[in-house]
C-alpha cells in the first residue's frame, strides 16, 4: 500500500516501525518531512506537505506509541 499525505495514521505506523525509539515530539518539521520522504512506501508529492499534515502525523505517531 502506498502512503500518501491523506493517511497520517499509516505514515505514523511506518515511522514507528523504522524508528521505534524516537519520540515524535522531539522532531522538527524539516526532519519529520525528510523521514517521511525516506519511507519506501511513501508515494506522494513532497511539496504537498503542510504544517497541518505534518502535525497530523506527529499526533498519530504520539497516540500510537
| Local structure of 54: helix, strand or coil | helix
As a whole number of angstroms, the distance between CA 45 and CA 27 comes to 21
Establish if 31 belongs to a structural domain.
yes
Establish if 54 belongs to a structural domain.
yes
- pTM score: 0.95
What's the CATH number where 59 sits?
Answer: 1.10.10.600
Establish if 1 belongs to a structural domain.
no
Establish if 2 belongs to a structural domain.
no
User: Which pLDDT value is given to residue 31?
Assistant: 97
As a whole number of angstroms, the distance between CA 44 and CA 63 comes to 23
Residue 3, strand partner residues? 42
10-residue block means of pLDDT along the chain (65 residues)?
96 97 96 98 97 98 93
Establish if 40 belongs to a structural domain.
yes
Which range marks the domain in which residue 23 is found?
8-64
**Terminal-to-terminal C-alpha distance of the chain:** 22
Domains held by the chain: number? 1
Amino acid at each position: 500500500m502506498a502512503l500518501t499525505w491523506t493517511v497520517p495514521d499509516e505514515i505514523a505506523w511506518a515511522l514507528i516501525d523504522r524508528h521505534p525509539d524516537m519520540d515524535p515530539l522531539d522532531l522538527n518539521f524539516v526532519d519529520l518531512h525528510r523521514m517521511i520522504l525516506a519511507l519506501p512506501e511513501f508515494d506522494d508529492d513532497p511539496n504537498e506537505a503542510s504544517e497541518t499534515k505534518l502535525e497530523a502525523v506527529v499526533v498519530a505517531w504520539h497516540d500510537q506509541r
